[in-house]
Structure 1
Amino acid sequence: MVEEMNSHQHDIKSIAILDAGSQYGKLIDRKLRELSIRTVFLDFDFTAEEIVNENVQGVIISGGPGTVILEDQEFKRLNGDRILKLGVPVLGICFGMQLLNKLFGGVVERTALREDGECEIEINTDCPLFSGLDSKQTVLLTHGDTCTNVGGELKIVGKHGDTISALSYESAKFYGVQFHPETDLTPNGKVIFKNFCKICGVEPDYTLTSRLKSTIKEIEDSVGQRNVVCLISGGVDSAVCAAMLQKAIGKEKIYPVHIDNGFMRLNESKLVEKSLAEIGVTLEVYNEAKNFSVATTRILQKDDTYRACTQLNRTIHPEEKRQIIGDCFISVFNKILVDKGLDIANTLLCQGTLRPDLIESGSAYASSKCDRIKTHHNDTDLVRSLRARGKVIEPLKDFHKDEVRQIGAELKLSCSILQRHPFPGPGLAIRILCAEGPNLGTDFIETQVILNKLASYNDAKTRPFLLFNKIIEVLSKSELETLDKITGSCKYKATLLPISTVGVQGDARTYSYCAAFSCGSRTDSSGPDQQLTGIASSKSNINWDHLFFLARIIPRCCHNINRVTYVFGGEVSYPIHDITVTYLDTPTIDLLRTADDLATTSLKMGNCLSSVSQMPVVLVPIHFDRDPVKRLASTKRSVVLRTFKTQDFMTGVPARPGKDIAESVLNKIDQAILKLPGISRVMYDLTSKPPATTEWE
C-alpha cells in the first residue's frame, strides 16, 4: 500500500491520530505541534486515499473511554488489521496499547486495579521509544482495563509494579504505552513523541506562525461582508480573539460586547473595559444580572425530547447551570441584534472557544467519541444549533491556552492581558456548589470506613478488616510502605463530605465524593505531641508531601472519590452527614465574591500570582465542627482554594505550599476568609487533573 501512495503525497509529512475519544486526544496534537510536526485526525474507518493525501508516515492511536473487551463483530469495527498493514510505525496510547495487544492475541481484562493519577514506572531504555530517558519515569496512568497477558511478538518494556505499562514490537515499529505521554503529568512525554517522530522519519516543519496566517485567512473568508458580534469576557481567549478579528477584517464590521451576567469577580467588568481599551477595542457593556438569575432553558434528552429546567437561582445541578447560562448568553446575543438593528442572516456570533472547551463538552467538532465532562457555556445545544447553521465563528477552536498566549504575543498584546488567570464564562456560578440535601449514597458508609483505614493504616494493618483488600490490592509494595510510614508519624483524620464534585476518570465524567483530611497532633523526635492550630502552625506540623501522596492514592483505592482536600484549622472532630441548603442567591454570590477578592489580593501581595496558572475559589455547603449531641443545624459554608499549575490546561497539578506559594500567604488568606460571616473552614484542594477537574462543577 505504501508504495502505491508515493506519487500523490502532501508536501509536508504528517502523523495521523486515530481518535478513540480521549479527553487528552487533542493534547497529542498539541504536543506534536510544539515539535513543529503536522498532524491529521482520522476516524477508525479511515480510507487509503486519506492516508495518501495526508502523507501519513506514522499513526498514533489515542486513549478513550471505550473498551477493547468487545464482541468480535464490535471489535472488527476498529479496523485493527488495517492499522497493522499500513506499513508505518504505530504508537498506541492507553486504549491504543490495549487494542494493539489484543490484535496480537494478548489478553485485556477489567480487573480490581484502576489507576487515576501520577505514578512512577520502570521502563526499558534500550527501546528506541524511550531513548535518552532514565529507567524510572513519572507518568499519568488513568485506566480501568489492564493488559494481563502479552500477545504475539510484543514485548514488555515498561511496568508499574506488576502492571504492564509499555509494549513494543521492534522490527515492525509498533509501540504501546498504558500511560498518557501527551499530558503535563508525564514530564518527559515530549521526548517520547520526539523519539516516535524520529522513528517515523518526520521532520519538524509545521510552525505556529504558519498556522496563525492560515487562521487569519480563514476569518477573512468566513466573514466576507457580514457583521460580527464579538462576545468578550475580558480573559485571554476573548481578547486574543478580538485582536485576531481586527487584524483580519478591521473594526468597521465588529460589534464588541461584554455581558455582565451577575457572576463576575469584584470589579471584573470595569477591568475588562480597561484592558480591552489597551488594544483599541471599545466595549459596550450589557448588565444582565437580573435576567440571568431567573433564566431557564430546555435541555435535549437522549430520546430527542426536551426537558425544562428550574430557573437558575433555584438550580442545584452543575450541568443545568452551565446550559442555562450558555443559552442565556445566546438570548442576550439576540437582544443585541435587535438593539443594533442587525440582520441575523448577515451577522455572525464570535466566541473565543478553545479546543479544550469542545473536548470537555463532548462536541463532535472536537471528537465524535469524547465523553461529556462538563458543558461549556460556549457549546450548549443552542450554540451547536447556531454553529450548524453557519452562524458562529470561532477563530481559536483549534488552539490551546498556551498557544493562544503565544498568538497574543505575536499580535503585540500586553503582558497584563496575556498573563491574566483564566475565568470561566459562567463565572462564580460554577464555583458555588448548590445543594438541597446531602449526598449520602448507599456506598457512603463503606467509603468512609475505607478512608478511616487509609488514614490510620499503620494501626489498621495489624487488624485486617473486611474491606482491607480494597487498599492492598491497588497499591504497590513501596506505596504501602510509604502509607505505613506516613500514618505512623502523623495523626490524620479523614472525613468524607456528603457533596459531589465533577471529575474525569478513565476519560469519562464522574460526579463523586470529596474526601477531606485534617491533622490533630504530631509526634516526632523534637518533642511531645503538639496540637495543631491551623495553617499558622510551623511548617513541620503540615507535611504537604504526605498530604499530596494521600491525595494521589485515594481515588485509586476509592473509585467513587475524585477529589481530596486538606482542612486548615486542626482536626475535624465530627463526621458530617448534612449540608447547608445553598442556591445562587445574591447574598451567597456576594459572599464568594468577597472571599475570592480576599484570596486573589493576598496572592498578588505575596508575589505568588505568577506561580500558579489559576486559583478558583470555591464555596461549598459544608459546616464543620458541630457536635451531633447538640444537634446544631448546618448554617455555615466553607471555602476551598483550588490552586492549579498547568501548561496545557487539560491536565495539571495543585501548587505546592512552601514551594510555589509561601505558607505565610496561605495563612493570610485563611485568616482573612475566616473573618467573613457564615464561613466555617478553609480547605486546600490537593488533587491533580485527572482525577479532578480544574473547576469543582
Structure 2
Amino acid sequence: MKSKQDKIGVIDYGGQYAHLIANVVRSIGVYSDILQPHQLRDISQYRGIILSGSPALSSGDELSVNPLIFKLNIPVLGFCFGHQEIAKFHGGKVEHKGQEFGRSLLKLVKKSPIFLNLPDEQVVWMSHGDAVTDPGDMEEIAVSLDPDNNTQKYSAISDEKLRHYGFQFHPEVDDTEYGREMIENYVIGICGCRKSWNSDYMVEDIENSIKTEVKTNQVVMLVSGGVDSTVAAVLLHRALPASQLHFIHVDTGLMRHKESEQVTELFESEGMLPSLVVVDASEQFLRELQGVYDPEQKRNIIGKNFIDLVNDEVAKFDLSTALLAQGTIYPDRIETGETEHAHRIKTHHNRIPQIEAMIRQGLVIEPLKDLYKFEVRKVGQTLGIPQTMLQRHPFPGPGLGIRCICSQPDNLDYKQITVLRAKLKDNCGKYYSEVLPVKSVGVKADQRSYEYPGLLWKENYCGEEIDDIAAKIFRNVDNINRIIWLGGNHANPPVSIQPVLADINAARLEKLRAADNLAQQLLVEQNLYDEIWQMPVISLPLKINQVYEDFIILRPVISKRGMTARPYYLPPLYLKTLSDRFKQVGVNWWGVDVSTKPPATIEWE
C-alpha cells in the first residue's frame, strides 16, 4: 500500500522535531518517511523532500548535506539548519548571529505559493544560533521581527524555478500560527501529492505488529498508571492471550497521591487484574537514591532498579525468555538522542544502558514508540479507555524522583552566578531578579543545556509582560534557561537565597507529594485542568533568608505533542487560593515557571 502512495521524505539531521515534521505531513493525509542522511539511494521515489533542523552548526562555507538532494527534479524545503544549507548550496552565507528562541512576527515581503492564502503577518517559532546573512541566488520572501522589533532578514527564501524553499523558523511546531498550512501548501500545492494516507487503522496496525513481534513469547510490562503505559497495556491485552501477559506495578515511593490504588482499580475495570502484580519497593528505591545528586545518575538508578525488579519477578514465574514491554513514546526516544545525529537532551529511564542492550537483542517491545502523546490518547479512545484516565496530565516514569531536585553547592560556579546576576538585572526592567543556585536541563538549538533559572518578582504580576521579559532574557543572557515568577502573598522578595546540600529523602518527597496533590486538585476544582497540557510540581532545596525551605515550583504549560511548549498563566484566584492551601502543608515559598520550550524542557531534570 505504501509503495503506491505519494510520499514525502523527511531527512533527519538530528533536530528535535524531525519526527514531528513527518507527523504533520501524515496528518495532512500524505504518507511520510523519516530518512537518515546516508539513506538517499532511493530518494527519487519521493514527491518532495524536507530537511530537518540539527544540533550541528551550519556557519561556514562547507556544505554539510549531500548536494545530490538539490540536483534532483523534486521540490526541497528546509527548516532552520536545512534552510541554512539550502542557502549555502545557492551560493549564500551563514553566520553565527546569536541565539533566538521563542515567538517572532513573520512579515511576508514577496508572493510565493508556499504562503498561498496566508496573512501577511503571522507568529512563528524560532530556535537557532546560526542565520543566513546572504541568500545567494535565492530570493527573500519573508523577514521576521524579534520581540524588540529588530528586523531579521532572510527568514524565508525561495527559488521558485527549482522549487527550493527555506524557513529559518519551525513551521512544524504548534506555536507557529500557520505552520501546518505552510506545510500543506508545500506538500499538496508544490509537490502535487494526493491526500491518500489514512491513519484510521492505527490500532489494527499496532495490534498486528504486536502479534508479529511477540509470537508465542511471554511478555512482562511495568505499568505506572500513566496514559502511555495504560494504553500500551490495553493494546497488549487485546492482541495477546492473558496467559502470555504479566503486568507489574512497582510502588517506588516516588508516585503521585494514591497512584497505586488507582492502577489497581483501572486494571480491575478492564478485566486485567489477574495479570497484575503489585510490588512495594519504596524503601529499596529511597535507599538506592540516598546520597545521589546528579540527574542522569538518578534516572539510571531508577531505571536499573526497575529492571532488577522485573528480573526478580521473571525468576518467580520462570519467564527468563520473556520480552519486556514498555510504554515508550517518540519524544522519549528523540530526547535520548536515539536517531543518528540527535543530541542527547536527557536519558529517559526506559533508555538506560541495560534496556538499550535488551533492545539490541530483540527483547523489548514498544507498541507506542512512533507516536506522540495526542496520538496515544486517540488510540486510547478507540480502545474505550475512560476519558478520565486518558486526559490525565503526563507523568514521568521516574516519578517524583526527577521532580525532587538535588543540590551540591560545591559543584556550582559562584563567579558565573555573580556575572549572570548582573546580566539578569540589566534585562528585567523594574522586576526584582535573582539567579537561583541550582541547575536544570534545557534545550537550545537542538542541544542540551544545563543552566541556571532566573527568579523574577513584582507586586503587580502581568503574564504578557513577563512573557516579553523572559524572551528578552533568553536572547541576551547565556546560561539562563528558565524564568520563575515568585508566587505567594509576600510583601517583599527574599533577602538572600543560598544553595544547600540535599538529596532525595522521605520528608522531602512527602511535602512534594502533598503540594502536587493540592495544586492538581485545585486545577480540577476551578475547571482549569483540561486547559493545561501538564503542570509538573518541582521541589528545590534552598536556604531562603537563612532558613531551609523546599521551594515549590509549578510548571503549567500549553502543548500538543510535548516537543514545544508555552507557559500557561494561572489566574489570580487560583494563585491566591493555592497560596493559602500551601501554608497548610508547610510550603512558605513557591513560584511559577513561565519559560517556553525551548529553551527550557518541560521537566526540570
Same fold (TM over 0.5): yes
Confirm or deny that 1:142 pairs with 2:127.
yes
Confirm or deny that 1:318 pairs with 2:295.
yes
Contact kept? 2:228, 2:327, Cα under 8 Å? yes
Give the secondary structure class of the aligned counterpart of 1:334: helix
Give the secondary structure class of the aligned counterpart of 1:442: helix
Specify the alignment match of 2:29 in structure 1.
36
Single out whichever of 438-447 and 559-568 deviates more from structure 2: 438-447
Give the secondary structure class of the aligned counterpart of 2:440: strand
Relative distance call for 1:545 and 1:570 in structure 2 (3 A) is: farther
TM-score if structure 1 supplies the norm length?
0.83
For residue 570 of structure 1, report the CA deviation from its aligned partner: 3.9
Q: How does 1:442-461 map to 2 (within 5 A)?
A: 442-456=415-429
Specify the alignment match of 2:279 in structure 1.
286
1:505, 1:572 → 2: CA distance?
33
Single out whichever of 246-255 and 353-362 deviates more from structure 2: 246-255
Contact kept? 2:227, 2:392, Cα under 8 Å? yes
Specify the alignment match of 1:594 in structure 2.
514
Q: How does 1:75-90 map to 2 (within 5 A)?
A: 75=63, 78-79=65-66, 81-90=67-76
For residue 338 of structure 1, report the CA deviation from its aligned partner: 0.8
Relative distance call for 1:503 and 1:152 in structure 2 (3 A) is: same
Specify the alignment match of 1:96 in structure 2.
82
Per-residue CA deviation, residues 14-42 of structure 1 (Å, 9 max, x unaligned), is 10011110111111112112112211111
Per-residue CA deviation, residues 418-475 of structure 1 (Å, 9 max, x unaligned), is 111111110001111100217334322222112112223xxxxxxxxxxxxxxxxxxx
Contact kept? 1:158, 1:167, Cα under 8 Å? no
2:32, 2:584 → 1: CA distance?
53
Relative distance call for 1:165 and 1:71 in structure 2 (3 A) is: closer
Confirm or deny that 1:110 pairs with 2:103.
no
For residue 576 of structure 1, report the CA deviation from its aligned partner: 4.1
Confirm or deny that 1:635 pairs with 2:548.
yes
Specify the alignment match of 2:307 in structure 1.
330
Specify the alignment match of 1:629 in structure 2.
none
Specify the alignment match of 1:301 in structure 2.
none
Contact kept? 2:105, 2:144, Cα under 8 Å? no
Give the secondary structure class of the aligned counterpart of 1:498: coil
Q: 2:484 aligns with which of 553, 565, 569?
A: 565
Q: How does 1:456-475 map to 2 (within 5 A)?
A: 456=429
Q: 2:464 aligns with which of 527, 545, 548?
A: 545
Q: 1:355 aligns with which of 321, 330, 345?
A: 330
Code of the aligned partner of 1:448 = R
For residue 552 of structure 1, report the CA deviation from its aligned partner: 2.0
Specify the alignment match of 2:40 in structure 1.
47
Give the secondary structure class of the aligned counterpart of 1:636: strand
Q: How does 1:289-308 map to 2 (within 5 A)?
A: 289-295=282-288
Specify the alignment match of 1:437 in structure 2.
409
Contact kept? 1:125, 1:131, Cα under 8 Å? no
Confirm or deny that 1:686 pairs with 2:594.
yes
For residue 574 of structure 1, report the CA deviation from its aligned partner: 4.9
For residue 612 of structure 1, report the CA deviation from its aligned partner: 0.8
Code of the aligned partner of 1:21 = G
Contact kept? 1:501, 1:511, Cα under 8 Å? yes
Relative distance call for 1:575 and 1:34 in structure 2 (3 A) is: farther
Give the secondary structure class of the aligned counterpart of 1:640: strand
Relative distance call for 1:655 and 1:577 in structure 2 (3 A) is: closer
Specify the alignment match of 1:173 in structure 2.
163
Specify the alignment match of 2:148 in structure 1.
none
Q: 1:657 aligns with which of 570, 576, 580?
A: 570
Contact kept? 1:493, 1:518, Cα under 8 Å? yes
Confirm or deny that 1:60 pairs with 2:50.
yes
For residue 228 of structure 1, report the CA deviation from its aligned partner: 0.5
TM-score if structure 2 supplies the norm length?
0.95
Confirm or deny that 1:194 pairs with 2:184.
yes
Q: How does 1:509-524 map to 2 (within 5 A)?
A: 509-519=448-458
For residue 573 of structure 1, report the CA deviation from its aligned partner: 4.2
Give the secondary structure class of the aligned counterpart of 2:589: strand
Per-residue CA deviation, residues 272-324 of structure 1 (Å, 9 max, x unaligned), is 111232222212111111222233xxxxxxxxxxxxxxxx2211111111111
Contact kept? 2:405, 2:541, Cα under 8 Å? yes
Relative distance call for 1:165 and 1:576 in structure 2 (3 A) is: farther
Contact kept? 1:157, 1:168, Cα under 8 Å? no
2:161, 2:576 → 1: CA distance?
58
Q: 2:136 aligns with which of 139, 151, 155?
A: 151
Code of the aligned partner of 2:463 = W
Structure 2: gaps spanning 5 or more residues: 146-150
Specify the alignment match of 1:472 in structure 2.
none
Relative distance call for 1:332 and 1:410 in structure 2 (3 A) is: same
Single out whichever of 218-227 and 596-605 deviates more from structure 2: 596-605
Specify the alignment match of 1:119 in structure 2.
104
Contact kept? 2:104, 2:144, Cα under 8 Å? no
**Would you identify which runs of 4 or more consecutive aligned residues in structure 1 move more than 6 Å?**
none
1:622, 1:135 → 2: CA distance?
48
Code of the aligned partner of 2:513 = R
Code of the aligned partner of 2:526 = G
Single out whichever of 595-604 and 576-585 deviates more from structure 2: 576-585
For residue 61 of structure 1, report the CA deviation from its aligned partner: 0.2
Specify the alignment match of 1:501 in structure 2.
440
For residue 334 of structure 1, report the CA deviation from its aligned partner: 0.5
Give the secondary structure class of the aligned counterpart of 1:187: coil
Q: State how many pairs are aligned.
A: 595
2:435, 2:300 → 1: CA distance?
29
For residue 215 of structure 1, report the CA deviation from its aligned partner: 1.9
1:557, 1:206 → 2: CA distance?
44
Per-residue CA deviation, residues 604-663 of structure 1 (Å, 9 max, x unaligned), is 212211111111111012343x2xxxxx3x4112101110111111111121233xxxx2
Code of the aligned partner of 1:431 = R
For residue 262 of structure 1, report the CA deviation from its aligned partner: 1.1
Confirm or deny that 1:246 pairs with 2:237.
yes
2:573, 2:32 → 1: CA distance?
46
For residue 575 of structure 1, report the CA deviation from its aligned partner: 5.7
1:151, 1:125 → 2: CA distance?
17
Relative distance call for 1:71 and 1:193 in structure 2 (3 A) is: closer
Code of the aligned partner of 1:666 = L
Contact kept? 2:6, 2:46, Cα under 8 Å? yes
For residue 591 of structure 1, report the CA deviation from its aligned partner: 1.1
1:635, 1:432 → 2: CA distance?
15
For residue 259 of structure 1, report the CA deviation from its aligned partner: 1.1
For residue 268 of structure 1, report the CA deviation from its aligned partner: 0.8
1:47, 1:507 → 2: CA distance?
23
Task: State which structure, 1 or 2, has the greater radius of gyration over its C-alpha atoms.
Answer: 1
Q: 1:220 aligns with which of 211, 214, 233?
A: 211
Give the secondary structure class of the aligned counterpart of 1:197: helix
Q: 2:369 aligns with which of 397, 404, 409?
A: 397
Per-residue CA deviation, residues 253-279 of structure 1 (Å, 9 max, x unaligned), is 111111111100111110111123222
For residue 162 of structure 1, report the CA deviation from its aligned partner: 3.0
Specify the alignment match of 1:463 in structure 2.
none
Code of the aligned partner of 1:696 = W
Per-residue CA deviation, residues 103-154 of structure 1 (Å, 9 max, x unaligned), is 111110112x210112222124621111121111111101111111111234
1:96, 1:336 → 2: CA distance?
48
Relative distance call for 1:409 and 1:420 in structure 2 (3 A) is: same
Give the secondary structure class of the aligned counterpart of 1:221: helix
Code of the aligned partner of 2:229 = S
Code of the aligned partner of 1:609 = Y
Code of the aligned partner of 1:517 = L
Per-residue CA deviation, residues 499-525 of structure 1 (Å, 9 max, x unaligned), is 111111100110101011101xxxxxx
Per-residue CA deviation, residues 358-386 of structure 1 (Å, 9 max, x unaligned), is 001112xxx11111111111111111000
Q: How does 1:11-26 map to 2 (within 5 A)?
A: 11-26=4-19
Contact kept? 1:498, 1:576, Cα under 8 Å? no
Relative distance call for 1:151 and 1:204 in structure 2 (3 A) is: same
Give the secondary structure class of the aligned counterpart of 1:619: strand
Single out whichever of 350-359 and 551-560 deviates more from structure 2: 551-560
Q: 1:276 aligns with which of 244, 261, 267?
A: 267
1:121, 1:47 → 2: CA distance?
33
